[in-house]
Amino acid sequence: MAKIKELKKDIDYIINSIISDCFACVQLNSDKNSDKVYEIINSATEKKTELISKIYKAPFDNKSENRKYFKALQSELIEFADTCFENLSKLIVVKK
């Protein structure tokens, strides 16, 4: 069960990092793209809820199935975070 606890902490940490970076982007670039940044925040919170609920729906019968299931959840989290950070970096306006 320690792995499940670590996965929950990873989900929490990564999603909170996405959200805090989004808020920093809104503060630095307050006039542009704030609606799109808030969409990223909404999708991140929805993804967090989805992943946590998937943890509780895990097939706890077989260890090998559990490993594959949680590995898939972990890779889903990483892919989602990558796309969020890529989308956020496209929205950042560089001032010269």
Please report the pLDDT score of residue 92 as a whole number.
81
Over 80: is that where the pLDDT of 23 sits?
Answer: yes
For residues 32-39, average pLDDT: 86
CA separation for the pair 10, 16 (Å, rounded): 10
Over residues 7-22, the pLDDT tens digits come to 999 999 999 999 999 9
pTM above 0.85, yes or no: yes
CA separation for the pair 29, 93 (Å, rounded): 7
**Confidence label for 1 from pLDDT (cuts 50, 70 and 90):** very low
CATH 1.20.81 fits 2-91, yes or no: yes
Over residues 43-95, the pLDDT tens digits come to 999 999 999 999 988 877 888 888 888 899 999 999 999 999 999 988 886 65
CA separation for the pair 94, 62 (Å, rounded): 51
